[in-house]
């Protein structure tokens, strides 16, 4: 309800207000970053539709999929594919919803910075809580989920936990 009420939404569409531009400068643990690539990174959604809901975000502050460079498109796709593999190994979902909401009218909560949703799904994962209680029960803290996914991510055990590069936005 905090997110729906707008409490944590950016005040405007600039990189300075963008949470997806701020996350890479934080430690992996503090930012809930699961993996980092050269052009994009994978982070747990703070307001997940389901347990293990990941976002694949380019570092560059860009709103539209057609504005991504070829290298960004490839890396977003590769990170999405790896995210599915990791989530399957850790959480054994029955399926996934993948998608990008392009523009506020299409449902993008933060329309100014493109992000790909990777939402694990299980048979029967919808119950009375979202309908009656307007909430979703998650079986694990986000920090615990991040730790499990990061540990299972291939080839990242030696990756730094903080970004020392200039702000990519």
**What CATH number is attached to the domain comprising 128?**
3.30.428.10
Q: Is residue 163 part of a domain?
A: no
Contact of 58 with 68, CB cutoff 8 Å: yes
State the Cα–Cα distance between residues 32 and 127, nearest whole angstrom: 27
pTM: 0.77
Q: Is residue 27 part of a domain?
A: yes
Structural element, H or E, at residue 147 = helix 142-152
Average model confidence (pLDDT) across the chain: 84
3 state SS of 142: helix
**The predicted structure's pLDDT at residue 167:** 47
* Strand intervals (E) in 87-139: 95-99, 116-121
Contact of 54 with 98, CB cutoff 8 Å: no
Tokens of 104: 């506020």
Q: Is residue 160 part of a domain?
A: no
Q: Is residue 58 part of a domain?
A: yes
Q: In this prediction, what percent of the chain has a pLDDT beyond 90?
A: 62
Quote the domain boundaries for residue 127: 15-152
pLDDT-based confidence at 138, cuts 50/70/90? low
State the Cα–Cα distance between residues 25 and 21, nearest whole angstrom: 8
Q: Is residue 164 part of a domain?
A: no
Q: Is residue 97 part of a domain?
A: yes
- Token pair 């976002």 in the structure block, residue: 55
**The predicted structure's pLDDT at residue 8:** 62
Q: Is residue 62 part of a domain?
A: yes
Could you read off the pLDDT of 61-76 as tens digits, one per residue?
999 999 999 999 999 9
Please count the structural domains in the chain.
1
Q: Which residue has the higher pLDDT, 50 or 162?
A: 50
Q: Is residue 82 part of a domain?
A: yes
pLDDT-based confidence at 4, cuts 50/70/90? very low
Binding residue numbers for substrate? 45, 117
Active site residues: 115
Could you read off the pLDDT of 76-103 as tens digits, one per residue?
999 999 999 999 999 999 999 999 999 9
């Amino acid at each position: 309800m905090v997110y729906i009420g707008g409490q944590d939404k950016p005040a405007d569409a600039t990189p300075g207000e963008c949470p997806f531009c701020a996350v890479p400068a934080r430690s992996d643990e503090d930012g809930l970053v699961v993996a980092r690539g050269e052009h994009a990174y994978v982070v747990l959604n703070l307001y997940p539709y389901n347990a293990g809901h990941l976002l694949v975000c380019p570092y560059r502050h860009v709103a539209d999929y057609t504005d991504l460079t070829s290298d960004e498109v490839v890396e977003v796709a590769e990170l999405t594919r790896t995210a599915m593999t990791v989530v399957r190994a850790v959480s054994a979902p029955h399926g996934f919803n993948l998608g990008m909401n392009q523009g506020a009218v299409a449902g993008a909560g933060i329309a100014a910075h493109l992000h790909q949703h990777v939402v694990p799904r299980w048979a029967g994962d919808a119950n009375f809580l979202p309908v009656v209680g307007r909430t979703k029960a998650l079986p694990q803290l986000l920090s615990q989920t991040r730790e499990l996914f990061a540990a299972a991510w291939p080839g990242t055990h030696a990756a730094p936990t903080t970004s020392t590069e200039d702000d990519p936005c």
